[in-house]
Structure 1
């Protein structure tokens, strides 16, 4: 996993008071748009290296993603 991948998971691991704060942190800390961030994050959820690096965060996000897919 790259440093960028670890940083994306690190942002997701943290709790945020609201969506504006998270998007601002994505732009400032990672230097990317929120759209690109979520594209990378979604790809990481299917990467076994991300699961090995941070299983709690990856499994939580997989459950959220699966729940949203079922509700569509």
Structure 2
């Protein structure tokens, strides 16, 4: 795993809750818009090294992805629009 990728996963491990402060810190630290950060995090969460070294981060991200595809999640999302 590249050092930048490791730093991203370690950041998520330290700061797992979303929010505006986290978004600002993502931009400051990594130079990434939050959307790009989460896209990269989702891709990394499937990497064997991340699964082995950061199991809590990996499982949380995979759970979020799984829930995002569920009909219940889609209905909740639609009700907020």
Superposition TM-score tier, normalisation by shorter sequence: 0.7 to 0.9
Provide TM-score, normalisation by structure 2: 0.73
Change (3 A) 1:56 1:16: closer
CA RMSD of aligned residues (A): 1.8
1: distance between equivalents of 2:60 and 2:50?
Answer: 12
Q: Which residue of 2 aligns with 1:46?
A: 46
Which blocks of at least 5 consecutive residues in structure 2 are unaligned? 75-81
Q: Which runs of 4+ in 1 moved over 2 A?
A: 14-18
TM-score (norm 1): 0.81
Where structure 1 has 5 or more consecutive residues not aligned to the other structure, the ranges are none
Max Rg structure: 2
